[in-house]
């Protein structure tokens, strides 16, 4: 158990309590609550998601718009080349 925790269970518990008190004091001083931190985290993940996959959505729109012109022109050019042979 000591190997997993990184020390004796009682020592680890005391360190965690002290660190929790210090972090709680700092967060209280900043005016942050656990709920606000979770909302901030959720908004950050949502913004990253939309940044990554929103761009993919726009890229798909550009692809389809270009493909509406490029693919028919490609087929026409292949048919014309086939007719020349």
| DSSP code for 31 | T
50-82 confidence digits (pLDDT tens): 887 777 777 888 888 999 999 999 999 988 888
Instruction: Convert the pLDDT of each residue in 19-51 to its tens digit.
Output: 999 999 999 999 989 899 999 999 999 998 888
12 class by beta-carbon count within 10 Å (0-12 exposed, 13-18 middle, 19+ buried): middle
pLDDT band at 18, cuts 50/70/90? very high
Rounded CA-CA distance 68/62 in Å is 10
Instruction: Note the pLDDT of residue 59.
Output: 81
Q: Provide the CB-side half-sphere exposure for 27 (13 A, CA).
A: 12
pLDDT given at position 15: 94
Tell me, what's the pLDDT at 70?
A: 93
């Amino acid at each position: 158990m000591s190997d997993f925790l990184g020390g004796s269970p009682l020592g680890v518990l005391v360190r965690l309590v002290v660190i929790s008190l210090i972090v709680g004091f700092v967060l209280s001083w900043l005016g942050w609550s656990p709920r606000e931190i979770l909302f901030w985290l959720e908004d950050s993940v949502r913004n990253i998601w939309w940044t990554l996959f929103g761009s993919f959505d726009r890229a798909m729109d550009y692809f389809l718009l270009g493909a509406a012109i490029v693919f028919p022109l490609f087929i026409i050019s292949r048919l014309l080349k086939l007719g020349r042979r």
